[in-house]
Chain A
Amino acid sequence: MSQATSLRKTDVTLTINGKSYTRQVEPRRLLVDFIRHDVGLKATHIGCEHGVCGACTVRIDGRTARSCLHFAVAVQGAEIETLEGLSADGRLAGLQKAFHDAHGLQCGYCTPGVLLTAEEFLSENPEPSEQEIRAALSNNLCRCTGYVNIVKAIANAARDRDKTTADPAGESRK
């Protein structure tokens, strides 16, 4: 097979944050590059590009995944959610406020991936111990090593969600 056929672009259609995008890309186009460069959504960051750092974490069909470990063409038709989508409807608002309050970020590069990881984690484990939070974060690298405040922010978010859950007025935020 010739190099030319390998480089031939194909149509890839993905739903990102509820909106459908079709772009012509090479088969080797990584999902993270599709999101950032072809669609132009820049909240998803590229770190290590081999699945170690977690900066590129998105949701594919509802579950977290590393967007640097997927070819856009291989997830043809999937529903993708990025930080932009999850914060737009308020789902991440409490978590984001907790990061703000606890100074849970320094340079902010790892933060989008940390937020998506934490959101999935808290939705399944609403009352985590510190050890569980650390385990859940252990594949999201903060190069600033600001883990203490990240862990604190997630613990605070869990505590505040509990209050919200106990308060019927806050029902909509669950």
Chain B
Amino acid sequence: MKPAPFEFRAPVSLDGVLEEMREHGEAARILAGGQSLVPLMNLRMLQPSVLVSINHCKELSYIRAEEDGLVCGALARQWDVEHDQVAIQRCPLLVQALHHVGARSNRNRGTVCGSLAHADPLAELPAVALALDADMIAASSTGRRVVPAREFFVGALENSLRPDEILEAVRFPYAPTGSRSCFIELGNRNHGFAIAGVALEVTFGEDGRCRRARLAVMGGENIAKRASDTEVALAGSIIDEAAAREAGRLTASLVDVAGDFHADAAYRRELVAVLVERALIQVASGAAGRARSI
């Protein structure tokens, strides 16, 4: 199908974008990579009356290594972040997750901020942002504010931006010394929509015990969720096979899972348990590195 008609704006500066959003607010949508938005427009599930493209706003395409984290501007494309040397060395969980975000041709165009703002329940990047407590930087014509990831994601396809705001950038904290991470998901393919997935970062103490675990799970029912009870249970423990299995079971009991054509809810819940267990064993055994499909 073809999309419904809309007014098109393509400001060349952030100020221009914010001015358009101030004027058109509720009626407007930001067009970045368009890899989630345009399919919905083609299917006429979304019919914004104004489309504000940021594709000619080059000042937003930065990937910046700042002191307290990697900052991706609204136009930083997923493929570029995935291959950024600082991201590879200091934000391994983000890079592992990016391998699973759409096909190569989607990642060439899709943006990190766009995927976050879209807030799909089975999108990888919201799970990473939640696990790492990323900072979302919202901008409007009246100023900027930093929104913690936990307050940014409201529900499925719903974020807490005001109608006149855009997600100008996101800051992912660097992985702490002694940490290992793992992003793991299962789907029909190794990218695109998964059935369930897990974003995990564990910081180990010198004694080999888990000092701090960060875990977010996506199960399709709602936006990805932090498994805080599992994190508490893991803190201070030795992560062996029994502990990993128990953590998987506990996590599966905490998350909301969807049941659909691809997998019913019971299967998804079991899968969450298995993925958490595998992710923990992988980080505990030091077999970190590139995320791989299973």
**How many of chain B's residues have a CB under 8 angstroms from any CB in A?**
36
Asked if B159 lies at the interface with its beta carbon under 8 angstroms from chain A, I say no
Closest CB of chain A to B83's CB: distance in Å? 11
Complexed CA–CA distance, A3 and B47 (Å): 13
Cβ contact of A1, chosen from B7, B35, B56, cutoff 8 A: B7
Asked if A68 lies at the interface with its beta carbon under 8 angstroms from chain B, I say yes
B68-86: which have CB < 8 Å to A? 79
Complexed CA–CA distance, A120 and B49 (Å): 36
Complexed CA–CA distance, A91 and B106 (Å): 23
Inter-chain contact A50/B43, CB cutoff 8 Å:
yes
A1-46: which have CB < 8 Å to B? 1, 3, 5-7, 10, 26-28, 30, 33
B24-62: which have CB < 8 Å to A? 27, 31, 34-35, 38-39, 42-43, 49-51, 53, 55-56
Give B103's nearest chain A residue, CB to CB. A139
Segment from A69-77, A149-157, A166-174 that makes contact with B: A69-77
Asked if B5 lies at the interface with its beta carbon under 8 angstroms from chain A, I say yes
Asked if A164 lies at the interface with its beta carbon under 8 angstroms from chain B, I say no
Asked, given contacts A27-B51, A57-B105, A138-B190, whether A69 binds B35 with beta carbons under 8 Å apart, the answer is: yes
Inter-chain contact A28/B106, CB cutoff 8 Å:
no
1/0 per residue, CB under 8 A from B, across A104-125: the answer is: 0000000000000100110000
Closest CB of chain A to B49's CB: distance in Å? 6
Complexed CA–CA distance, A63 and B53 (Å): 20
Cβ contact of A69, chosen from B10, B53, B56, B109, cutoff 8 A: B109
Chain A's interface size range is 35 or more
Complexed CA–CA distance, A34 and B38 (Å): 16
Asked, given contacts A6-B49, A27-B51, whether A69 binds B39 with beta carbons under 8 Å apart, the answer is: yes
Inter-chain contact A74/B10, CB cutoff 8 Å:
yes
B105-128: which have CB < 8 Å to A? 105-106, 108-109
Cβ contact of B3, chosen from A28, A63, A75, cutoff 8 A: A28
Asked, given contacts A1-B50, A49-B42, A138-B190, whether A27 binds B105 with beta carbons under 8 Å apart, the answer is: no
Asked, given contacts A51-B38, A70-B109, A76-B56, whether A121 binds B5 with beta carbons under 8 Å apart, the answer is: no
Inter-chain contact A27/B189, CB cutoff 8 Å:
no
Residues in chain A near residue B253, CB distance under 8 A: none
Inter-chain contact A73/B105, CB cutoff 8 Å:
no
Give A136's nearest chain B residue, CB to CB. B104
Cβ contact of A139, chosen from B2, B8, B31, B191, cutoff 8 A: B191
A42-97: which have CB < 8 Å to B? 49-52, 54, 57, 60, 63-66, 68-71, 73-77
Q: List 18 A-B contacts (CB under 8 A).
A: A1-B50, A7-B5, A27-B7, A28-B4, A28-B5, A54-B103, A57-B105, A63-B109, A68-B38, A69-B42, A71-B34, A71-B38, A74-B53, A117-B105, A136-B104, A138-B189, A138-B192, A139-B106
Task: Given contact pairs A63-B105, A63-B109, A139-B105, enumerate 20 new A-B contacts (beta carbons under 8 Å).
Answer: A1-B49, A6-B6, A6-B7, A27-B5, A30-B2, A60-B109, A65-B108, A69-B39, A69-B106, A71-B8, A71-B31, A71-B51, A74-B10, A74-B51, A74-B55, A135-B293, A138-B190, A138-B191, A139-B106, A139-B191
B interface with A by C-beta (< 8 Å): 1-8, 10, 27, 31, 34-35, 38-39, 42-43, 49-51, 53, 55-56, 79, 102-106, 108-109, 189-192, 293
